[in-house]
Amino acid sequence: GESVGLHLPTLSVQEGDNSIINCAYSNSASDYFIWYKQESGKGPQFIIDIRSNMDKRQGQRVTVLLNKTVKHLSLQIAATQPGDSAVYFCAESNFNKFYFGSGTKLNVKP
Amino acid sequence: EPEVTQTPSHQVTQMGQEVILRCVPISNHLYFYWYRQILGQKVEFLVSFYNNEISEKSEIFDDQFSVERPDGSNFTLKIRSTKLEDSAMYFCASSEVPYQETQYFGPGTRLLVL
């Protein structure tokens, strides 16, 4: 089956610093990738997505980078805020099936 | 802002009992999904649903599971004979279109099978 994994289970950053969360995927046929944020006791919340025909996409304070050569996805959060503290999942999609990574917990220190 | 809602928020049941988890997707969305998340583990895709039929399903979604859209607003997941390992958080999601489109998740139903 598909495999989507995260390199770091926990990331601690200082408020105001930039955060980078990484993700590896294994299915080269995946053509759509999403980052979700999950706060304790809540459902996943969409952050940003990227299609396989792109290598970078920017949103408000967030950037997703896709490197298809090494099957790597990253989420960059600029000027990290305490409200960014959560678990972040990447997910890959192939034919409307979605496969999630196990998540990275982001701790933002004031 | 429109949101996906789910009921109940928590459900406790005895092993072997049937449970029905309910979801109300966002009103103009046409594609519906169920996911589960066992405590401490990753979110797992169960099934996608469109036009009153299953579009895709995972290996987890066996004969014990079924989905239905009984009316114009609800989307349900039924587990016929619950097992201990069915204990998890179950999330419903919906999207306007399938394939590479934002899915909006509900808050989840925490199911505990005793």
pLDDT tens-digit profile of A94-108?
Answer: 877 788 888 899 999
φ/ψ (deg, to 5) at B102: -60, 130
Residues in contact with A34: Cβ distance below 8 Å, sequence separation at least 6, in sequence order: A46, A47, A48, A49, A90, A91, A93, A98, B102, B103
Over residues A8-13, the mean pLDDT reads: 83
Q: Position of tokens 């999942």?
A: A89
**B43–A89 CB contact, under 8 Å:** yes
Top mean pLDDT of B9-13, B26-30, B42-46, B49-53 is at: B9-13
What is the average pLDDT value for chain B, to the nearest integer? 92
Answer yes or no: is pLDDT of A23 > 80.
Answer: yes
Contacts of B38 in chain A (CB under 8 A): none
A103: left (phi > 0), else alpha (psi -120 to 50), else beta?
left
Q: Which residues are registered as beta bridge partners of B75?
A: B23
Minimal CA separation from A79 to chain B, in Å = 25
A91–B43 CB contact, under 8 Å: yes
The answer to whether A26 and A3 have CB atoms below 8 angstroms apart is: yes
Q: Is A41 left (phi over 0), alpha (psi -120 to 50) or beta?
A: left
Instruction: Compute the distance between CA of residue A6 and CA of residue A17 in angstroms, rounded to an integer.
Output: 21
The nearest CA of chain A is from the CA of B83 a distance in Å of 23
| pLDDT, tens digit (0-9, with 9 covering 90-100), for A77-87 | 999 999 999 99
d(CA B1, CA A16): 29
Q: Is the per-residue pLDDT at B31 higher than 70? A: yes
Q: What percent of chain B has pLDDT over 70?
A: 98
